[in-house]
C-alpha cells in the first residue's frame, strides 16, 4: 500500500482550486490535499469587468474557500513568508508546512506603487476594491475624458483592458452621457493581444475603434500627477484625464522572488508540457510561470491556461502517487471571450504552442459569445464550489 502523501497547493485562484479539486477526485482519502491562501474568499476575476459597470455584485462573484473542505480539501489561511524549493517546505506566519508535492499557483502580484502617482490617480480594476471604486466613480461621472491604461506590455487577461474600455464606453452611452464622454485607451504594447498574431490583433483593435474609442499604442506610462490629472509617457507625450482606469505592473510575489525559483524573466521557468520545475516534486502553474513560445514571446497570462495546466499537474501527481495512468502534457490550447458591450462579445482561441507562430482564430462579435461567458461564470461556481 502506498503510504500517505501530502500535496500542498499555494494559491486559491483558478489554478489552485482546479488542482485541488482534480487531485481530490483522483486520490484515495488517506492522501492530504491542502490549499494555502491569505484570502478567505475565491474571487472569479473575469467577472470584475461586469462588476465595474454595475452588472454584478461582489457577493455574486466570490465564494468562501472553506467550502472546499466539504470535498475533502484542507484549507489553510495565512501569509506565505518563505518557500524552500529543495525540501518543499513552506513557512507561513504562524506555522510551517511540509509537502511531498508542492504546486505554486500564486499568480502575479499587482504593483501600481512602482509607477509614481498611478495608485493615487486612478482605479485598478484588476482588484475587487479597485473595480468597486471605479463602479462608484462611473456612477457619479457626468462627462469628460476617461483614460484606460495598461502600465506595461505584459499582464494577465490580455483582452481585459480592451474589454474594459468598450464596456465603460457602452455604460456611458446607456447612462445617456455618451455624447459628453470620450474614452481613450493608452497601451504600453504595440497592439492588442500581440502574441495572437496580426490578424487577431487588428480585429480586436477594430472592435475598440469601431466603438468610437481612441487607441494609442506603445505609450509606456512613467508618471501620473493625481492632482493635475496628468499622465506622462516614456515617448515624451502626455495626456489629461477626468477619470483613470488602469492595469498595473505585474511581478512575482516576494516569497517566490526570494525563493530562487524565478529566472531572469522574473517568473518561474517550467517544462511547457508538464509544468514541473528544476526541483523534484515542485510544479508551477498559471500567471506565476514563464513559458517562452517558439516565436520568442511568452505564453500570455490567462485563467484558461492556469485551469488546463492544473488539470495536467493534478493528473500527473495522482498517477505518480497511485502508480496508475499515463502522464499527460498541456498542449497550449486556449481561448477567451471579448466583451464589447450591448450584450455582445467576440471569441478567440486556438493553439498557442503552434510553430512557428500561434494559430488563433477570432470569431465574429455576437450575442452568443456573451451568453457563453455568462454560462461559463455560472458553471465555474457550480462545478468548483
Specify the pLDDT at position 350.
Answer: 97
Q: What is the pTM of this model?
A: 0.96
What burial class does residue 199 get, using C-beta atoms within 10 Å of its C-beta: 0-12 exposed, 13-18 middle, 19+ buried?
exposed
Q: Give the cell for residue 197.
A: 498574431
Per-residue confidence in pLDDT tens, the chain, 385 aa: 579 999 999 999 999 999 999 999 999 999 999 999 999 999 999 999 999 999 999 999 999 999 999 999 999 999 999 999 999 999 999 999 999 999 999 999 999 999 999 999 999 999 999 999 999 999 999 999 999 999 999 999 999 999 999 999 999 999 999 999 999 999 999 999 999 999 999 999 999 999 999 999 999 999 999 999 999 999 999 999 999 999 999 999 999 999 999 999 999 999 999 999 999 999 999 999 999 999 999 999 999 999 999 999 999 999 999 999 899 999 999 999 999 999 999 999 999 999 999 999 999 999 999 999 999 999 999 999 9
Specify the pLDDT at position 195.
Answer: 95
Q: How far apart are CA 385 and CA 381, in angstroms?
A: 5
Architecture of domain 111-249: 3-Layer(bba) Sandwich (3.50)
Q: How far apart are CA 314 and CA 24, in angstroms?
A: 9
The residues with which 101 forms a beta bridge, in sequence order, are 7
Specify the pLDDT at position 325.
Answer: 87
For the chain, the structural domain boundaries read 6-108+252-322, 111-249
Specify the pLDDT at position 217.
Answer: 98
CA triple 161-192-120, angle to 5 deg: 35
Q: How far apart are CA 103 and CA 22, in angstroms?
A: 13
Specify the pLDDT at position 281.
Answer: 98
Is-contact 221 233, C-beta < 8 A?
A: yes
Report strand pairing: 243-247 vs 144-150.
Answer: parallel
DSSP state of 259: T
Give 3-state DSSP helix, strand, coil % of the chain, rounded to 5: 35, 30, 40
Q: How far apart are CA 309 and CA 126, in angstroms?
A: 22
Query: Residue 373: which of 69, 108, 47 has the closest Cα?
Result: 47
Q: At residue 314, what are phi and psi to the nearest 5 degrees?
A: -65, -45
- CATH H superfamily, domain 6-108+252-322: FAD/NAD(P)-binding domain (3.50.50.60)
Amino acid at each position: 500500500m502506498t503510504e500517505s502523501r501530502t500535496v500542498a497547493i499555494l494559491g486559491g485562484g483558478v489554478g489552485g482550486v482546479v488542482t485541488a479539486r482534480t487531485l481530490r477526485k483522483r486520490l484515495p482519502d488517506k492522501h492530504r490535499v491542502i490549499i494555502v491562501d491569505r484570502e478567505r474568499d475565491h474571487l472569479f476575476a473575469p467577472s470584475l469587468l461586469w462588476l465595474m459597470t454595475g452588472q454584478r455584485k461582489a457577493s455574486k462573484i466570490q465564494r468562501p474557500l472553506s467550502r472546499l473542505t466539504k470535498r475533502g480539501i484542507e484549507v489553510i489561511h495565512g501569509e506565505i513568508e518563505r518557500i524552500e524549493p529543495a525540501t518543499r517546505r513552506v513557512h507561513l506566519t504562524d506555522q510551517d508546512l511540509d509537502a511531498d508535492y508542492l504546486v505554486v499557483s500564486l499568480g502575479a502580484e499587482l504593483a501600481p506603487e512602482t509607477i509614481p502617482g498611478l495608485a493615487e490617480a486612478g482605479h485598478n480594476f484588476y482588484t475587487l476594491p479597485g473595480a468597486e471604486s471605479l463602479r462608484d466613480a462611473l456612477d457619479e461621472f457626468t462627462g469628460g475624458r476617461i483614460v484606460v491604461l495598461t502600465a506595461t506590455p505584459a499582464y494577465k487577461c490580455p483582452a481585459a483592458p480592451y474589454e474594459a474600455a468598450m464596456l465603460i464606453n457602452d455604460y456611458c452611452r446607456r447612462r445617456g452621457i455618451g455624447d459628453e464622454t470620450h474614452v481613450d485607451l493608452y497601451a504600453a504594447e504595440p497592439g492588442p493581444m500581440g502574441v495572437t498574431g496580426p490578424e487577431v490583433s487588428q480585429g480586436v483593435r477594430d472592435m475598440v475603434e469601431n466603438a468610437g474609442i481612441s487607441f494609442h499604442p506603445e505609450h509606456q506610462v512613467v508618471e501620473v500627477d493625481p492632482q493635475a490629472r496628468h499622465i506622462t509617457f516614456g515617448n515624451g507625450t502626455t495626456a489629461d484625464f477626468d477619470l483613470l482606469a488602469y492595469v498595473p505592473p505585474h511581478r512575482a510575489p516576494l516569497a517566490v522572488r526570494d525563493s530562487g525559483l524565478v529566472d531572469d524573466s522574473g517568473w518561474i521557468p517550467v517544462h511547457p508540457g508538464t509544468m514541473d520545475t528544476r526541483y523534484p516534486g515542485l510544479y508551477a502553474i498559471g500567471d506565476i510561470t514563464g513559458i517562452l513560445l517558439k516565436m520568442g514571446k511568452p505564453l500570455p497570462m490567462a485563467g484558461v491556461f492556469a485551469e488546463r495546466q492544473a488539470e495536467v499537474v493534478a493528473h500527473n501527481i495522482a498517477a505518480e502517487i497511485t502508480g496508475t495512468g499515463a502522464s499527460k502534457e498541456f498542449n497550449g490550447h486556449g481561448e477567451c471571450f471579448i466583451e464589447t458591450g450591448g450584450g455582445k462579445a467576440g471569441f478567440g482561441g486556438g493553439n498557442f504552442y503552434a510553430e512557428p507562430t500561434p494559430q488563433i482564430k477570432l470569431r465574429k462579435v455576437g450575442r452568443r459569445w456573451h451568453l457563453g461567458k455568462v454560462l461559463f461564470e455560472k458553471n465555474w461556481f457550480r462545478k468548483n464550489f
